[in-house]
């Protein structure tokens, strides 16, 4: 678990898996030190992760099988400096929080697809919560247009962050994470507070790698949060989104040739794929059962 100097500035992992090292993770997310568990430390860790590790589906489009295993995910994101989809990003963050002495809980969410306007199946998305300073905090480092820092798990909570304006809303036993776009609210995902385990997401991890109803299977993309902006590669396009106050945004799009994509991934996102990428940007099919 968490160990450090008396002042709490340096930490390391004492996990039996010697290939997984907290210090290497911190370097991956551009942090030199970590502090003992606190809200300010959690905010810093969360922010650095989303600004350093992209949300991406490129394994699916370059011949790599995604495995729901902490050591495999660690190797991909920390050692190979890749990104991943929610199970990978939030899975790694789950392990990190556990190692640092937090006590995260796992929740399951269903994402509302902005293209076909329906929610995905159960276990469609993984999110985390942490209790600190008498409140429960929602953490999510695996959603491309999501929060930069944790937000309180409170009905009606509204907050503007660098990536937009967000709010939480409750209907019955379901919670809705919403994002403001101009003057309207758009639901990102819905969830309940029933605690889950990481293993509960294995079936949906396979689904997102193989189903034509999944954005990850139908589109090759890589998206990284920047200060007040987001950079996204998708198919044969590069999209730069600049966020403006109050939930607005300005987008610029650049067309790419297939030959330009590997260099772009290296220069803009900081990694080289081990397999040949097959660019893909196909329509998402509506599933027979919602």
Q: Which residues are catalytic?
A: 86, 125, 140
DSSP class of residue 133 equals T
| Residue of 260, 224, 220 whose CA lies nearest to 240 | 224
Distance, CA of 144 to CA of 161 (rounded, Å):
14
| Residue of 210, 177, 207, 214 whose CA lies nearest to 192 | 177
Distance, CA of 143 to CA of 110 (rounded, Å):
12
Q: Are 128 and 45 in contact (CB under 8 A)?
A: no
Distance, CA of 208 to CA of 86 (rounded, Å):
10
For residue 20, CA distances in Å to 74, 84, 92, 95 come to 7, 17, 10, 10
Q: Which stretches of the chain are assigned E, i.e. beta strand?
A: 55-56, 105-111, 125-132, 135-139, 151-152, 158-161, 164-171, 174-181, 184-191, 221-226, 229-234, 237-244, 248-255
């Amino acid at each position: 678990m968490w160990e450090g100097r008396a002042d709490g500035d340096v930490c390391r992992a004492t996990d039996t898996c010697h290939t997984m090292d907290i210090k290497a993770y911190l370097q991956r997310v551009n942090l030199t030190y970590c502090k003992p568990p606190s809200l300010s430390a959690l905010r810093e860790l969360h922010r650095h992760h989303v600004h350093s590790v992209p949300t991406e589906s490129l394994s699916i489009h370059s011949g790599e099988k995604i495995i729901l295993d902490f050591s495999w995910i660690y190797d991909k994101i920390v050692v190979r400096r890749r990104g991943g989809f929610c199970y990978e990003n939030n899975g790694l963050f789950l392990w990190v929080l556990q190692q640092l002495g937090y006590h995260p809980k796992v929740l399951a969410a269903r994402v509302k697809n902005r293209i076909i306007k329906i929610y995905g199946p159960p276990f469609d998305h993984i999110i985390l919560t942490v209790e600190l300073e008498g409140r429960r905090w929602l953490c999510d480092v695996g959603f491309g247009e999501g929060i930069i820092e944790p937000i309180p798990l409170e009905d009606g909570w509204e907050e503007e962050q660098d990536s937009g304006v967000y709010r939480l809303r409750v209907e019955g036993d379901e919670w809705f994470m919403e994002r403001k776009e101009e003057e309207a609210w758009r639901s990102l995902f819905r969830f309940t507070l029933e605690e889950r385990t990481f293993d509960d997401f294995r079936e949906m991890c396979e689904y997102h790698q193989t189903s034509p109803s999944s954005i990850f299977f139908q589109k090759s993309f890589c998206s990284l949060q920047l200060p007040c902006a987001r950079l996204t590669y998708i198919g044969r396009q590069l999209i730069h989104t600049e966020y403006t106050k109050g939930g607005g945004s300005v987008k610029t799009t650049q067309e790419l040739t297939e030959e330009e994509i590997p260099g772009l991934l290296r220069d803009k996102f900081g990694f080289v794929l081990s397999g040949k990428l097959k660019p893909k940007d196909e329509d998402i099919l509506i599933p027979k059962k919602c």
